[in-house]
Amino acid sequence: MLRSKRLPRKFAAPWRCCGGIFDWDKSNARLAELNAAVEAPDFWNDSARAQQLMRERTRLEKGVGGYRRIEQELTDTLALAEMAEAEGDQVMLDEAQKALARLRDDVQARELDSLLSGEADGNDAYLEVHAGAGGTEAQDWAEMLLRMYIRWAEQHDYKVEWIEESAGEGAGVKSATVRVIGENAYGWLKTESGVHRLVRISPFDANARRQTSFASVWVYPVVDDKINVEVQDKFLRVDTYRSSGAGGQHVNKTDSAVRMTYALPGQEPVVVACQSERSQHQNRAKAMAMLKARLYENELQKREAQAAAMNATKTDIGWGHQIRSYVLQPYQMVKDLRTGVETGNTGAVLDGDLDRFLKASLAARIKGADAVANAPPN
């Protein structure tokens, strides 16, 4: 029974915590700054900057306003429930309980949204898939993974733009890159970087033997021109080649596709490629944008290395390095090896039902970051 106007613990303003959930004081202060900036007479002199600030303001207004609405509705509902108890009105009390349940769902949804508070979480994302060793088996698995992410994107009303594909020998893909376009695309997908392991009865084996295949996924944010990423020409190699694909606009008779390799001394080379445009000039521009995005992601990872250990996922595509296992034989199970989240509905997962894994890995990442931030100094 609800006998107190004090907020129940499960509704106790989780958004007002600092750190990984929602920094209430910082958000309100920033919103006040933006409101003042909008009133300035020269605000629209720089149209691009003004639009960027307006988007930030709208996002903050939505977040802050939504949490204030929840808090007010919660206070009103608890008062209504207390009145219903005092008057013995069971119908009114039932309505109050239903309202509390709706508010709880709203709070949980906003907690998940507030996990996407990283520097580039709101951006579009590049998603690369690479087949591991194993020939046709691994290449087919890489294509299955790519399809899984495209289905997930479609289910969340994201647009998918094809960037580059290297077809497999007989089936699947050796590698492919797509751009996932939509709000928070990078934020949701960023924890998918790593090695994914498949166990199944091989459709390419006449003896129907069980096979294990590996493929890696790499996700990095799309960055705009305002983020300054230095690319030194002396460490950059640009190669051109003929586009490949299923046909149509992606097959050219000229070397229009572009591959860029950026190799700083003592560091692993960064390689990107683009063949989605007919023009070599356009492909070169897109490849440079992708290269800068990869370099920016590398910098973000350095900042988060202690909390998320993300660099550990960029290892060999094989045993001992996988982040998730997809077992189709002899039983059905998909299990995330970082969070322990698992399901037996493998078909749904391969059709894009990834939300349970994405939410758990985001929450674990935030928890790890908070643990590092709150740890006592050595």
| pTM value surpassing 0.85 | no
End-to-end CA distance of the chain: 48
Q: What is the pLDDT along the chain (378 residues), one digit of tens a residue?
A: 343 334 444 444 444 433 334 567 888 888 899 999 999 999 999 887 888 788 788 878 877 888 888 889 999 999 988 998 888 889 998 998 899 988 888 887 777 667 776 778 888 999 999 999 878 999 999 999 999 999 999 999 999 999 989 988 888 999 999 999 998 899 999 999 999 999 999 888 778 788 899 999 999 988 865 567 788 888 999 998 877 654 444 445 567 889 999 998 988 899 999 988 888 888 998 888 888 888 888 877 776 654 444 444 444 555 556 899 999 998 999 999 999 999 999 999 999 999 999 989 988 876 655 544 444 544
Q: Which residue has the tokens 């997908």?
A: 189
Q: Which of 52, 85, 114 is the last residue of a domain?
A: 114
Q: Which of 73, 89, 114 is the last residue of a domain?
A: 114
Domains held by the chain: number = 2
Flag whether 176 is in a domain. yes
Distance of CA 48 to the CA centre of its chain: 26
Q: Which residue has the tokens 């094809």?
A: 162
Per DSSP bridges, beta strands 194-201 and 322-327 are parallel
Omega before 8 within 30 of 0, i.e. cis: no
Let me know whether 155 and 98 are in one domain. no
Let me know whether 145 and 277 are in one domain. yes
CB 342 within 8 A of CB 333: yes
φ/ψ bin of 352: left (φ > 0), alpha (ψ from -120 to 50), beta (otherwise): left
Q: Which residue has the tokens 């239903």?
A: 98
What is the rounded distance in angstroms from the CA atom of residue 365 to the CA atom of residue 121? 13
For residue 160, the cross-strand partners are: 180
Check which CATH number belongs to the domain holding 21 and give it. Answer: 1.20.58.410
Let me know whether 317 and 242 are in one domain. yes
| Measured CA angle at 354 (ends 158, 22), to 5 deg | 75
The strand ranges marked E within the chain are 125-131, 159-167, 173-181, 194-201, 210-221, 236-241, 257-262, 270-274, 322-327, 333-336, 342-343
